Each structure stands twice: as structure tokens, then as C-alpha cells.
Amino acid sequence: MILDQDRVRDITRGNSKLLVSISQLFLKELPDMISNIEQAYQQADRKTLSIAVHRLKSALGNFVTSSYYQEFSRLESSAAENESPVVTLSDWGNDWNAAKLKLDTMIVELTEMAGI
């Protein structure tokens, strides 16, 4: 499970309308966030990549388990070359693809929880 249902309930205070609203907003913005990450990756622009990953990570913080959030923290850090040894962009791309697969699972879990 990628979605932290307890966290989502806490954030929304059990208000189903608020849950639907924030879920729809997140899902509406998600394709652009993914596109920005993939564009920066294709351009090998590590600074822009790190910023784009940070934006998605921040949005995910409202919904996901701490372990998945930490996975995005590592993606952000390695995109910015803040890890030693430095992660190659090729390896970063592999990590991103693995994280993106889990993102698909989270989307299903969120839409089910929100009933949308």
C-alpha cells in the first residue's frame, strides 16, 4: 500500500467533500508534474529535475506512506547530485521508473478512497 489512508483521513478530518476536492486537484496537476520531471530528465537538466521532483514530492506528502515519501526524497537528492557517490542519470531514470510504477498504484488507491 502506497497511500497512507490514516494520514489522508487526518488531513481531511474525515470530510469526504474535502477528500474529493484535494484528490481531484492532485490528480489534475499530476500529469504536468510527471511531464516536467520527464522533460528535465530528457534534457539532462539536473537542477530543473530536482525542482520538479521536489514539487511532486511535496504534493505526495499529503497522501503517501513515509517510506514512499522518502523514496522521492532520495530521487530529489540524487537528481541534484547531493548523494555520494553521485547517481548517474541512467540509474536515476531506473529509480524514477520504479517510483512511477508505485505512483500508478497510489492513484488507484486514492481514487478508490475518494470515490472518484
Spatial separation of the C-alpha atoms in residues 57 and 72, rounded to whole Å: 6
Q: What is the pLDDT of residue 57?
A: 97
Those residues with Cβ within 8 angstroms of residue 109's Cβ, 6 or more apart along the chain or in another chain: 1, 2, 3, 5
- Number of compact structural domains in the chain: 1
What does the pLDDT look like over 15-74, one tens digit per residue? 999 999 999 999 999 999 999 999 999 999 999 999 999 999 999 998 999 999 999 999
Spatial separation of the C-alpha atoms in residues 5 and 90, rounded to whole Å: 33
For residues 64 and 5, the answer to whether their CB atoms sit within 8 Å is no
Q: What is the pLDDT of residue 49?
A: 97
Say which CATH number the domain at 64 has. Answer: 1.20.120
* Average confidence (pLDDT) over 88-106: 94
**Using alpha carbons only, what angle is made at residue 95 by residues 24 and 70, rounded to the nearest 5 degrees?**
65
pTM: 0.90
In which domain, by residue range, is 53 found? 5-114
* Average confidence (pLDDT) over 85-100: 91
Q: What is the pLDDT of residue 40?
A: 97
Spatial separation of the C-alpha atoms in residues 39 and 46, rounded to whole Å: 11
| Residue 84 CB coordination number (10 Å) | 6
Q: What is the pLDDT of residue 86?
A: 77
